[in-house]
Structure 1
Amino acid sequence: MLINVEAQWPALVNGKKTTVPFTRTLTIPGKRVDLLRQRGVITESLEADLQRFVRELPTTPQDARFEELWNGWAVVQRNGLSVNMDRTRANLLAALKDPRGVKVSVVLGTQTAPKRTLSFFSSRGVTAHLGTGETNYYGSSPARVTNIHVGSRPFQDRLVEGKTVSFNQMVGPITTRAGFVTGLVISGERTADGVGGGICQVSTTVFRALYGAGLPILERRNHSYQVRYYDPQGLDASIYQPSLDLRFANDTGGALWFQTDWNDQESRLTVHVFGKARDFTVQIGVPKTLSTTPPPPDRLIPDAGVPAGQRRQVDWAAPGAVIEVTRSFVRGGRVFRQDTLKSTYRPWPNIFLVGR
């Protein structure tokens, strides 16, 4: 016997109102159904199973946001469900008394809408997926992961209006008061401890989302040297408050909506950007290495914090390179515009702190 819940969530697909199905099923094994039919009542154990099943239903409404469905992106408004238990029990009892009864419908009451509904997006014209950025932070220290989480939160379910998107304005001050901790940052000729180490994982991911969305770049600087966290190289963005920002022009004619997901098990950070539907698509070419330079000899830096006779590696060698990426704008199957992004990376040595 199958006890089924069937509901429809309000949704927007390509700006048009529709619904997305929600289903849940509680399966009662056949042998148990036979015993229940012999008794002809809803037993305490069956009532307990039914109550447990109902408790697991989404009764608390969830704010509307974009979800990637099997056929593309949609704004989904997950309303809170309520159950009419008396009518549901009546359906269950009728099925038990009917030898042919194999399906029971849970009777739902009025759905409760969340604070942020479909109209939040439709009224602003935010109906289309524009771009997605993704990076991998495998091997990051706990401090670096913390800073990635803290730095990503300002891009979680965030509406940005205006003609300019500024990373530093969205993130705010990178301070311990804001939740950032001390981690490794690129400072001058070496990697050193600094508050917010790892924030460039976020800026790089945001850059890739907005770059893929086709927005014009106003300010972007690559890192001094190639950093393994930002493969493929040539698509990174360094920030350093207050002097260095990541900025894009918002030429969509409407607001932008950001959503962020991080998966610590897979060490993956993803940023999605949504906005007004556009009549073209954007294709990002494979980064091309135009030239390379071998890394210089190892660098040894005396450090009183390292025991005498020992050394601690704080930087790893990376070749210098000039890398170019082509962005193509396509309408009707034809490229109508292209631009080129060029990144120049210095050759970088292994760096060791050496005890005196």
Structure 2
Amino acid sequence: MKYRIALIPVLLLALLVVPKNALAEVNPGSLLLKTDFRIWQVDLKNVDLTSTYTKARFKGIDINIPEDQLSYVTPYIDYETVEGLDIIKLQTYLENKIAPDIYREREDVTINMDEKDKVAFEGSGLYGRKLDTKKAAFMLKKAIEEKGNYLHLPLINDPPQITLKGEGLKEKGIIELVSAGETEFKGSPENRINNIKVGLSKFNGHFISPGEEFSFGNVLGVVDETTGYKKELVIKGDRTVPEYGGGLCQVSTTAYRAVLASGFPVTQRRNHSYAVSYYAPTGLDATVYPPTVDMKFVNDSPAYILMQSFTVGTKAYYNFYGTKDKRKVHLIGPYYYNQKSPPPTRTEYTTKLAPGEKQVLGHAVPGISSSWYRQVVYEDPKKEPYFESIHSNYQARPDFIAIGAEKEVSSENSMIEDGY
């Protein structure tokens, strides 16, 4: 299956290599609408986006005639009733179904720094955003007509106003919002939410110096009950087990999204062993399990980066403040392939449970592979563009049940540490 992708830079097209046998995660007759933070699948068969209209053309020639010129050529034209995409219906659909999920008011921020470089934030610093529905409607019309699979939606962003209090901030180059990342953790249990909030607090106010390789694990520090964490499920090998810090991958994944948007080079990142719904869209997650699994990147900007990390409702956020160098970042994808159904239910018998008692050790998850592509183009023409292929393989997992018995019958696989 060939892909048609709207509005991709020419240089990226020259470098893009799609995995063999790649298939879009779209049903036939569907189209993916995407931003850097969310994807919507539109089933074109079940949406009324067309209207009938009268088409005027010269006899024997398929050329549309503007209405204001019809009176001059009436004897030479034919009329026919046709059905086609209705730009008003397209725009209305976007306004009703997509725009509300995107819209956000700008929230300004005041950054305070004392003489010991301790930082405090007043306000979230979230940039405002809204869908450019008129432009998006014309782009959607073009994408449907050309049988495209993906359309990156045009947004109108409103950067936050930043007030600085503390002379050292400007000296470090903290003058504007460089990038932001966000994820959704709706449906998380109480302990997981606690761990997400505690984890985010470890990075709030952290500085990354120019040229520094940032290590998520080093800044995160110790993860146990003494540092505020509670036990929640983590992925370890072939099962999920409760450990202190379960849910911290929500924190690392949110940071990773901000890194991707900033254009900073990623030096270490690993995806989860299977796809986790909290980290949609699939393929842009970053698991951590210090000290063996980390997420690292290099601040190759001309100034310090100041991290702000917090939650609002059921969303986690990172803001990176610093000085922009006018680099352009293009994130292309997703491509999904190697889809696999979950294996048959797996059963393990254990003496750790009362005879007949059951415990769920894992839920069925389909397997899939994903590819995204990131291109960073710098203002300096002498600096080579940075191109990154982000490939992730996710295992198919079965329903996994432990049953209490008088004798152990284990089906355990090797316990490879995966992540929080």
Q: Normalising to structure 2: TM-score of the pair?
A: 0.56
User: Where in structure 2 are the equivalents of 1:173-212 lying within 5 Å?
Assistant: 173-212=222-261
User: In the alignment, is the contact (CA less than 8 A) between 1:66 and 1:73 conserved in 2?
Assistant: no
Asked if 2 retains the 8 angstrom alpha-carbon contact of 1:10 and 1:118, the reply is no
Superposition deviation, residue 297 in structure 1: 1.1
| In 1: Cα distance, 2:372 partner to 2:169 partner | 33
Corresponding residue to 1:122 among 167, 170, 177: 170
The separation in 1 between residues aligned to 2:121 and 2:259, in whole angstroms, is 24
1:317-337 superposed Cα distances (whole Å, 9 cap, x missing partner): 1122110011132468x9955
Amino acid at match of 2:325: R
For 1:250-280, what per-residue CA distance to the aligned partner results, in whole angstroms no more than 9, with x for missing partners?
Answer: 111321111112124xx21111112221112
Q: 312, 319, 322: which is aligned to 2:369?
A: 322
Matches within 5 A, 1:160-179: 160-161=208-209, 163-179=212-228
Structure 2 CA distance for aligned equivalents of residues 318 and 65 of structure 1? 39
Structure 1 residues 257-316: Cα deviation after superposition (integer angstroms, max 9, x where no partner): 11112124xx21111112221112213223210321222111122344544334232322
- The answer for the alignment partner of 1:76 in structure 2 is 163
- Once the two structures are superposed, the pairs formed by residues 18-33 of structure 1 within 5 Å of their partners are none
Give the aligned partner of residue 330 of structure 2: 283
**Deviation (angstroms), 1:198:** 0.8
Distance in 1 (alpha carbons) for counterparts of 2:127 and 2:187: 31
**Mapped contact 2:109–2:161 kept (Cα < 8 A):** no
Aligned residues: 257
Aligned-pair identity in percent equals 28
**Pairwise CA RMSD of aligned residues?**
2.6
| Equivalent position amino acid for 1:159 in 2 | F
Alpha carbons 2:253, 2:287 under 8 Å: kept: yes
For structure 1, the residue ranges without an aligned partner over 5 or more in a row are 1-8, 13-61, 78-116
Match of 2:349 in 1: 302
> Whole-Å Cα distance in 1 between the matches of residues 303 and 262 of structure 2?
14
**Counterpart position of 2:187:** 139
CA distance in 2, matches of 1:232, 1:277: 27
CA 1:324–1:65: 2 relative to 1, 3 Å = same
Q: Does 1:250 align with 2:312?
A: no
Asked if 2 retains the 8 angstrom alpha-carbon contact of 1:136 and 1:229, the reply is: yes
What residue number does 1:225 align with? Answer: 274
Runs of 4+ that moved beyond 6 A:
9-12
- Equivalent of 1:67 in 121, 125, 133: 125
Name the SS of the counterpart of 1:301 in structure 2: strand
Indicate if the aligned counterparts of 1:183 and 1:193 stay in contact, CA closer than 8 A. Answer: yes
Residue 151 of structure 1 corresponds to which residue in structure 2? 199
- 2: CA distance, partners of 1:260 / 1:303: 42
In the aligned structure 2, how far is the partner of 1:336 from the partner of 1:275?
21
SS of aligned partner of 2:264: coil
Equivalent position of 1:293 in the other structure: 340
- Aligned partner letter, 2:277: R
Matched AA of 1:292: Q
Query: Do 2:223 and 2:244's aligned partners in 1 also have CA atoms closer than 8 Å?
Result: yes
- Higher Cα Rg: structure 1 or 2? 1
| Equivalent position SS for 1:177 | helix
* Secondary structure class of the residue paired with 1:225: coil
Q: Which amino acid aligns with 1:279?
A: K
Indicate how the Cα distance of structure 1 residues 270 and 296 shifts in structure 2: closer, same or farther if over 3 A, else same: same
